[in-house]
Amino acid sequence: MNRRDFVRLTGSGVAIGAIAEQVVEAQVAGQPKAAAPSGPRTARVARMKAGTQHGDSDSILRVMAGFGVNHICSRLPSAKLDEAWSVASLSRLKERVESFGLTLDMVPLPLSSYEISRSENAAILLGTEPDRERQIDDLCQMIRNTARAGISSVKYNLTLLGVPRTEATLGRGRARYSTFVYAAGKQDPPLTIAGPVNADLYWERITHFLQRVVPVAEEYKVRLACHPQDPGMPKGKGWRGVETVLGSVEGLDRFLSIAESPYHGLNFCQGTVSEMLEKPGEQIFDVIRRFGSRGKIFNVHFRNIAGGFLDFRETFIDDGDVDMLKAMRVYKEIGYDGMMMPDHVPSIEGDTGNLQGFAFAIGYIKALIAAVAAEA
């Protein structure tokens, strides 16, 4: 898509953002002040930043600069260790982003959210040697080069299943909401190319990976942000023969305990974590505190859902079960200072690439940040 088309499609984003800010201001005006935390009162400053992972083309960067989204996660430099991962290339990427007045906060490692048959470095989770060690060696070199280029964080996934979903449902304005209903899902084929993977085997492979990469991240001071498995599945049943060990709050706790390090943490997808909960509208706030108070939230995918564990829909940011203003207040409370970004948005008819949907979400996020920043 060229710049003209992108600007045409997202030009409404500024107006949408202004409308969202007015809506949030009205919500704030109609609500009591947030209750003060127990114990000594400590003034909190809102340090979180609007961010994006929408790409790093010049047209995208120009639009994001116009939106005031000044922090980005780039696209994947390359699926393999090649020139794109050299210090020189990463430095040029960083300089180009900065030429638009933006900051390159994070880059993805080639461990994406694809199903294992499409994974860039499948041997890491398949446990097949000698390819596993070679692929981990390559990722370690990517981490070193990222640090040498002055980039502070990387994100990654450790999934075998990709992102399973069932048939989409219609939401507000007949937008299509990405949906998952476990009981209605077809586990076809019944196994992935990994075959049956129980919890013990999955943890063994995850532990091996972390034992290799976390010491490198510590040495080079690069934060490793892992995305939870989306969605969580029933313990002991899983999906297509795979136990989703990173699909529960307890699983994320265990994951973080494997390698105690300030450089080992989460790409905290609030939508995905909400999908793990029976009552996300009540429970998500304490989960944010649980990981945020320990400094383990390195990035936030700020997404809302309706429903909960095993039966949910991905909604517009203001149309789900979670009070997103309250959630933003909790991020302020814990002192989170990273990016707040949309990851998925509903599909609106005629919205090529969901660009207007992302513009709406970005505007709403900026309005929420402004609202909590204005509170004492």
b (16+ CB within 10 A) / e for 115-141: bbeebbbbbbbbbeeeebeebbebbbe
All residues at 6 or more sequence positions from 305 whose CB lies less than 8 Å from its CB, including other chains: 271, 274, 275, 280, 312, 313, 314, 315, 320, 321, 322
Residue with tokens 């010491």: 215
- The pLDDT of residue 246: 98
Handedness of CA 345, 353, 73, 217 (dihedral sign): positive
**48-373: which CATH architecture?**
Alpha-Beta Barrel (3.20)
Kindly list the distances between the CA atom of residue 72 and the CA atoms of 3, 77, 116, 240, in Å, as whole numbers in the listed order. 18, 14, 27, 34
Can you give the residue ranges of every domain in the chain?
48-373
b (16+ CB within 10 A) / e for 207-222: eebbebbbebbeeeeb
Spell out the per-residue pLDDT of the chain, length 376, in tens: 444 444 444 444 444 444 455 545 555 555 544 443 443 334 578 899 999 999 999 999 999 999 999 999 999 999 999 999 999 999 999 999 999 999 999 999 999 999 999 999 999 999 999 999 999 999 999 999 999 999 999 999 999 999 999 999 999 999 999 999 999 999 999 999 999 999 999 999 999 999 999 999 999 999 999 999 999 999 999 999 999 999 999 999 999 999 999 999 999 999 999 999 999 999 999 999 999 999 999 999 999 999 999 999 999 999 999 999 999 999 999 999 999 999 999 999 999 999 999 999 999 999 999 999 999 7
Contact 249, 278 (CB under 8 A): no
Amino acid at 3: R
Prediction pTM value: 0.90
Contact 248, 276 (CB under 8 A): yes
Kindly list the distances between the CA atom of residue 22 and the CA atoms of 1, 13, 127, in Å, as whole numbers in the listed order. 31, 14, 52
- The pLDDT of residue 45: 87
Q: Could you write out the three-class secondary structure of the chain?
A: CCHHHHHHHHCHHHHHHHHHHHHHHHHHHCCCCCCCCCCCCCCCCCCCEEEECCCCCHHHHHHHHHHCCCEEECCCCCCCCCHHHCHHHHHHHHHHHHCCCCEEEEEECCCCCCEHHHCCCCHHHHCCCCHHHHHHHHHHHHHHHHHHCCCCEEEEECCCECCCCEEEEECHHHCEEEEEEHHHCCCCCCCCCCCCECHHHHHHHHHHHHHHHHHHHHHHCCEEEEECCCCCCCCCCCECCECCCCCCHHHHHHHHHHCCCCCEEEEEEHHHHHHCCCCHHHHHHHHHHHHHCCCCEEEEECCCEEEECCEEEECCCCCCCCCHHHHHHHHHHCCCCCEEECCCCCECCCCHHHHHHHHHHHHHHHHHHHHHHCCC
